[in-house]
Every structure is written in structure tokens, then in C-alpha cells.
Structure 1
Amino acid sequence: MKRYLYLWHRWLGIGLCLFMALWFFSGMVMLYVGYPKLTPREHLAHLPTLALQDCCVDLETALTAADAQRTPSGIRLSTVAGVPRYLFSYPGRNNVAVEARTGQRVGPIDRDQALAGARQYDPLAMPSYQGVVEEDLWSHSRALDADRPLQRVRLADVDGTLLYISGHTGEVVRDASALERGWNLAGAWLHWLYPLRGIGLDGLWSNLVIYLSLATTLMAVLGAIIGVLRWRIRKPYRSGSRSPYRGFARWHHIGGLLFGVLAITWIFSGLMSMNPWRIFSAGAPLDMAAYQGGPLTAAAFPVSPAQARSRFAEQGFVARELEWRLIGGAGYLVAYDGAGRTRLLSMADGQVLERLPAQVLEQAAQAVLPRARMHSERLDVYDFHYYARAEQSMLGHLEKRLPALRVRFDDPQQTWLHLDLYTGEVLGVVDQSRRASRWLFALLHSWDWLPLLERRPLWDAWMIVFSLGGMVLSVSGVVLGWRRLR
């Protein structure tokens, strides 16, 4: 039996230790430079103040121009390419833009409009048009699907910024600086095995990553077993050492004993990040339309954008973007300023609010699972299931403000909703499968553990030291594998 343990570990290692080394190295890069994305704060920082003079057509006209047959899932009013535009999103369909002053639907974005959008993003940098792309090295994210094809523009700024502009709305949807692009070649591009995409393997990419991770986990577990079997606790070998190996083999043996368990958890949790065989998607999807209390129609929003902007200005709040939101059947206009701060205008009484009353969100949440008993709690501090991450992390762009509201249901899935008191947005749905993912992926892979996250030098040291240990383990395995092949 021992012979087969050695053979399986050896031959799996010859093929897979190189992947381990790449994962540990690229993972250290990703601690500080994430895959390019345009965060909400970056988006708002590059917007001008909403200029609504001689504007705008009413919402009903804009909805009809966008799509008279379908109801949107999201409505915003923003400045795009220097002019105000209504921006509509639809489930499973392309985004749509309507000129706010004329009520005309915006056609496919061309070169001139893409350059105008880039000049709005940075008026001081000279833009150069780079053409149309469906998907490339820095735009693999599925979040961009509703905006494809993308117009690509390069800015002559100090950061060497590359912009991706929606082919349907003209809005800048992604930016990637030269620094991000350079480090990502050694970071996320390697870590997520993106070299396998764009060469005809896109449809197989997910399964390739899953089964490579599965095989690597098996290899590491076998190595841990062998490492323990070969270490003499009581009686050392003739050389006086408790390990029978020398050179790189000794480094590999001792490195495995010191860092093997953590290496196994990192590889296994990386496998869990792919949601293999959809094991974290077991629960039936919730009907989140019930939280809105109805479709997004003009009838729920009698206040015009110009009137709303004036009401916010009276309170000293300078809006750069407006969002129409329906919560429990009641309409609200959410205004965003350049720093990401928000205010709400209630359609019911015209009041400008900093936060929504908890009762409003609780009533809307109860409609999601009307037959389940509900308990709510206000979160004034972060905890294991609600916390913020650095912007460069995978989900660091998601705003997690405090206080927030957590609503718990006693349904079979023990569902929780995290609700933003500042905008009414559903920040997250947590059920039994997602709580399992929280343990098996976020905790084991990124060490999203508040005692470490809140003490960043300690978290950094933890991640780097153990990543270097994993590098020693995997690089020594690569050397041993190469020697075996020779």
C-alpha cells in the first residue's frame, strides 16, 4: 500500500507542483494588486455634477424609448460622454441608454462617442482609440456581459490607463492602469489560469480549473501522509536526522511537515471558490422582486430628476448620479456624490433622508418569505458574515457600510438578508450553502477572519510567511519532479 502512496504522490507531483508554485506566487501578488475593475467609488469620482438645465424628459417617456415591452431591473440617471443619460438594466439582456434631454434611445456606441466618454473620465489626458473587443485579457468578468461589445480607449496619462466603454450606453465600465496590467500578468492572470482562455478552451476552462485543483488536493494529502510516515519521532536515521532525505528532497519533506496542512487547505479552498458541481447553489432562488413590492414603473416616481436634484441641493448635497429604487412598493430616489455618500428622497412625503427607517426594510423583507417568521438585528460592528475587504480583493468593491440591517428567517435554508440602511439595497443573501462557502472558501483561502483583518500587519505577515512556505514546498517538488523525468 505504501508503494502506491509514493507512486501516486510522485507522478501527480511531477505534473502539478508547477501549478502549485504558480498559485502560491500569484496569490502573493493578488494580496496587493487585484484583477482590474472600476469600483463604485472610482466611477463616481470621475463623474461631473449632474447638470439638468433644460432636462429631462419624464421617466415614462424614457422607459418607453428604452423598451416598451419590458420592465427594467435598474434605472439610473448619470452623465455619459458629457450629457445626461438614463441608464436601464434588464435581467439577461443588454443595458440600454436614453438621452435624457431628447428622449431618444442611444444606438450602438461608435468611435467618437467612446472618445467622448474617455474625455469625461479624464479631461486632461489625450485619449487614443484602440478598437472594439468582445472579451480580452482584462475584461473576462461576467459582470461586463450586458455591456459587450466593449470599446477600448487608452489614455495618455501618468498611469497608462486603459478604459473599457460599454458598447450600448457609452459608459466607462472598467479601467486598468499599466501597473495593474503588469502585476496581473504575474497575479490574477496566472492564478485563475487565464492563459487557457482565448485559445479555444473557454468552454472547458471552469472544469479544467476544478479538476486540476482536485488532483492537486489529492497529491498534497498523499504527500502529507508520506511525510508523517517518513519522519522518525523516536529513533533517528543513521545520519542522525529524523528525515531520510538530503538536498531538495529534505527541503520538500520538512517543508511539507511545516506547511503541508495549510497548503492542503489553500488548494482545497481554491477548489471551493469555483463552486464545483454547484454544491453551494443548492437552495431555491429567492423572489427578490417581492422585496421591491412591484415593477419599476414611472407611476411610483412622481418627482422629476430636476426637482429631486434641487431638493438634494437644498440640503447641501451635490448629486452626481441618481438611482430609482422601489422598496416594499414605495418609491425612493437615491443620490450619490463624488465620494460615494448617499441621500434618499422619499416619493411619499418629499423628505430627504440619510438612512431609511429599519421598519421600512423589515416590511419589504418579510414579503420575500411571507410564511417564514422573521427576526431582525442592527449591525453596528462587523462580524464573521458581514465585513468589509480591501478594494483590491475579489469582493472589495462591494460597499459594506455600518450600521446595516440583518434579517433572519426560520425557513428550511435559514436564510439571512443583509440590507443597506443608506440605500435599501440587498447587500447579500446568506443561506446554509453560502455559510458553508464562507467557511470553506473565504476563511480558508483568504483568511477573512476579523482578528487578522483588523490587524493588517499581522494578516499580511500570516499570508506572506505561509505563502513562502508553500513556495518552498512546491518549488522543491518541481526540482524533484524534473530530476525524476530526466
Structure 2
Amino acid sequence: MKRTFKRWTYLTHRWLGIGLCLLLALWFFSGIVMMYVGYPKLTEEERLTHLPDLNPATSVPALLSPGAAMQAAGIEQLQEVRSLRLNRARAGAPTYWLERNGQPVLAIDASSGETLLQVDAAVALASAQAYAGDANAVLAKGTLLEDANTHSRGLDAHRPLWRFDIEQGPLARLYVSGTTGEVIRDVSRTELYWNWLGAWAHWLYMFRGNAFNAHHSDIINWLSVISMVLVLTGAVVGIWRWRFREPYKSGARSPYPSALMRWHHVLGLLFAIVCMTWLFSGLMSMRPWGMLRSPPAPLQVTAMHGQLQWDFLQDLPGSEANSFSALKEIRWLPLLGESVALQINAQGPIAARNLRTGKSHEPSQAQVMQAARNLMSVPITQWDRLSAYDLYYYERAPHTMTGGRDKPLPIYRVAFGDEPKTWVHVDANTGQLLGSLNSTERLSRWLFTMLHSWDWLPLLNRRPLWDGVMIALSLGGLAISATGVVIAWRRLRQKIS
């Protein structure tokens, strides 16, 4: 029985290695690439930087106030309105964007109040040109549903997409929403080329957009599980064959006469745990078969913030001449029972104005706490003010999977006494909700992001130490896989001949 078990362990490792060693080499190599070049996305910083300046005071024709524009568009009540934005993201023209719960974003011409529904070639081209700047030639490449740079499910509401290529400069490609007319993805030249060896390869996107599309997640899940079996059987075989007490007659601890096999043996023992950890955490990133999935927290946002009020939308804040010279966007939203206008430039919000009082919006801790109690029908169990990042609230580089999101400080962390033990993060300066985490999502933070990208702050904040550790471990896994590729090729060649 024991000999049979050993034999099948050897055979399992051998033939799984022949089948999967190239895949593991691809995963380790692409993982190193992704440390520095991520999958293309449009970050808030990129969006604001490329928005044309907003100059309401000098606009011709003159701009309507937000209230007048919505009335002209037939909007008669503000229930379920999350926010209202004014910018020049659509064709370079001033446009109001009405965001409502459960409904598509509505674009309204800021000069006429006309509802903008159609996105034709001329609108898409004008949006791309405004984003790229007049100095860059933009070439229209037609429409598409999905390509190597646009697999993200977050783009589904914008399909079909208009694609535009840029002849020179750091930007290589732009995608314009087929439903709103905004640029919703930009691709740098670095991302365009390295993406094939980085995220596209790592996430096995060769199985997207074709006959395998519906099975993409299952393919990754099962390949991860089988790869874990490969690593586990390899570790067991490696331990069996290593002489811990006394060496073989050759004087070596490993029985293999071939230098390649010895290296594979030694590297496997050194890096097996690392390989297993990354395969397991990569599997957890897919939330396989419903694991680590949880419904969103039932936050009663309207009960916390109230609604925008018509009375405070009849003027365009700060429309005096030259006050908007560097402004990119104005955003109206309800915050803590008040109607507030945020003025935003390329670096982010620069002013928050209470439209009822005309003064700066600077809520106190007591105001935020009182409003936050309305988010859920259960009591608050803990309330903390964070002035520095911690293990659950922290920044990552914009190109990374979890990077490119606004992570202001200080914040309030509000813990509720519901069964999922929900935490809510609130911006201490404005009272805006920044997100929520329940116990399942916090577990996912450990099983995926902590184990997969080692975003442990004491290490992450000491770059290039983090880079050195990650690259060294990745090269170890790559070396195991690469030696496995050569061994597999030699074995297959022997079988064929």
C-alpha cells in the first residue's frame, strides 16, 4: 500500500509538471511584470488631469444653473439622486451628469438643458480629442465590444466602446463610452505592450472573448487547484528523496546526478511554501465557487445624508470671473443633511461649500457621528479616528489592482453590531462615505491581498525592500518552473523517440 501511494505520488507530480510547468513559469514572470505595470484603467487622477478646464464665467453660450438645467431636462424631483456633476468630459462641452440609484447616468447639456442620449462618431472623437489635447493626433478605429485592454466587468454598462489611437506621446489608446460619451479608459504605451506579458497573461485573458469566455473563471480556478496538487506532491517527493541525516554515496543530499534535476529538487524544497501560498491566494482572488462572497452592507445612505434640495441648485457657485481658471469639475451632493458643492481641480477637491449657509462645509465629529448612526438599524459598537493608514485602510500604487482609489486621511471608522460586523469608513473632512468592510471582506484581505501581494505596511512602506523580497521569491518560483519546463521537454522527447 505504501509503495503504491509513493508510486502514484511520483507519477502525479511528474505528469502534472509536464502539463503545468509552462503555466507556472508564465504566472511567476507575469507577476513580476505586474509589480510595475498594471492592467489599464482610468484613475481619478488621470481623469481629472485630462479634463478640459471649466470656465463657467466665460462660457458662450452662458451655462444654466444646475436646477434650471434639470428642469429643462424634465427632472421634477430629486429623490434617489446620489450626486450631480458639471464638467467638460463629453465632447469638450460643459455637461451636467445626474447620478441616481439604480438608473443609468443621465447627461444634460449645461447650456440648453437638452438630454444627451446619442453617442455618435463625432461626439466620441471630440471627447477623445479633448482628453488627448489639441497637440496630439487622434485616429478613430471604430467600435468594439471588448478587447485585450477592456475585459473589466466595470465597463459593461458602457459597451459598445469607441476606440481611438494616438500617434505619439505617452498615451497610446483611448476608449470612449458608447452610452455616455466620456473617455472611460486610457492606455499608455507602456501598458499597451507590457500588458501582454503582465496582466493579460497572468489572468489568462486568452480565454476571454472567445468560445471559452463563459468558462474563464472555472479554468483559472481548476488550474490553480491542480497546480497546488503539483506543488504539494513535489514537496512530498522532495522531502522523501532528501537525505537529512546522512548523504548518498556520492556525498550529496540529493540523489539526482543531473545538475538540472538537483537544482529543481533544491529549489522546490526552498520555495514550495511560497509557491503554494501564491497559488492559494490567487485562487482566493477569484472567490471560487461562492467562497468569500458576501452581499453588500444594507447601508441607508439617504438616511445619513438626506437629499439635494431644489432651493440650493438655482445658482452656479463661484461663477464670478477667473474664479474657475484651474477648475476641472463641480459636484453637488447631499452630505450629512446639507446640500454641498465640491469644487475640484486636477489634484482633487479644493473647496466644499454648504449651499444653505454659503460657508465652508466643515462637519464636526459629533455631526458625522450623529448622521452615521442612521446608516444601519443596529447600534454602533466602536468609533475610531484614523490619522494614518492601517492593515485594512491603506493606499497602493495607482497601477496595482487595488490602487488608484481615493484614500483620504483622516477618516472615521465606524463599527456596527450587525451579524457580518460591518465597518464603515467616513471622510473626516467632508463626511463622505468611502466604503465598507464586513468580516468576510476582511478575511479576503488576509487570504488574497496580504498573501498574494504582501501588502503588509511595515514591508510595503520600506521600498525597495518590498521589491527585493517579492522579486527574489518570484525568481525562486520562476526558477523551479523553468527547470521543470526543461525537464518536461526532455521527458516528452524521450517518450516520443
Spell out the pairing of 1:2-401 with structure 2 (5 A cutoff).
2-53=6-57, 54-59=62-67, 61-62=69-70, 65=73, 71-80=80-89, 81-90=91-100, 93-121=103-131, 122-245=133-256, 246-282=258-294, 285-290=297-302, 292-294=304-306, 296-299=307-310, 302-304=312-314, 306-309=316-319, 313=323, 318-353=326-361, 355-401=362-408
Distance 1:219 1:97 in 2: 53
- Whether contact under 8 Å (2:72, 2:113) holds in the other structure is no
Distance 2:406 2:369 in 1: 20
Distance 1:183 1:66 in 2: 47
TM-score when scaled to structure 2?
A: 0.90
Higher-Rg structure is 2
Distance 1:180 1:126 in 2: 19
Offset from partner CA, 1:4-34 (integer Å, 9 cap, x none): 2212222222222211111100000000011
Distance 2:410 2:296 in 1: 29
Unaligned runs of 5+ in 1: none
Distance 1:309 1:418, change over 3 A: farther
TM-score when scaled to structure 1?
A: 0.92
- Whether contact under 8 Å (2:335, 2:430) holds in the other structure is no
Which letter maps to 2:358?
G
- Whether contact under 8 Å (1:72, 1:88) holds in the other structure is yes
Distance 1:291 1:330 in 2: 12
Distance 1:447 1:304, change over 3 A: farther
- SS, match of residue 456 in structure 1: coil
Distance 1:10 1:375, change over 3 A: same
Offset from partner CA, 1:190-249 (integer Å, 9 cap, x none): 000011111122211111111111111122122222222221110111111111123322
- SS, match of residue 367 in structure 1: helix
Unaligned runs of 5+ in 2: none
Distance 1:102 1:458 in 2: 56
> 1:483 deviation in Å?
2.5
> 1:305 deviation in Å?
5.5
Distance 1:290 1:4, change over 3 A: farther
Distance 1:220 1:258 in 2: 12
Distance 2:32 2:303 in 1: 40
Correspondence for 1:425: 432
> 1:274 deviation in Å?
0.7
> 1:365 deviation in Å?
2.3
Offset from partner CA, 1:360-389 (integer Å, 9 cap, x none): 332332212232234221111111111111
Which letter maps to 1:134?
L
Q: Larger deviation: 437-446 or 128-137?
A: 128-137
> 1:406 deviation in Å?
1.0
Offset from partner CA, 1:435-480 (integer Å, 9 cap, x none): 1111111111000011111111100000101100000011112222
Distance 1:116 1:372, change over 3 A: same
Distance 1:362 1:15 in 2: 57
- Whether contact under 8 Å (2:140, 2:163) holds in the other structure is yes
Cα-Cα RMSD? 2.4
Offset from partner CA, 1:335-371 (integer Å, 9 cap, x none): 2111224321113322124x54333332332212232
Correspondence for 1:458: 465
> 1:101 deviation in Å?
1.0
- Whether contact under 8 Å (1:151, 1:165) holds in the other structure is yes
Number of residue pairs matched? 481
- SS, match of residue 365 in structure 1: helix
Q: 1:415 aligns with which of 422, 425, 428?
A: 422
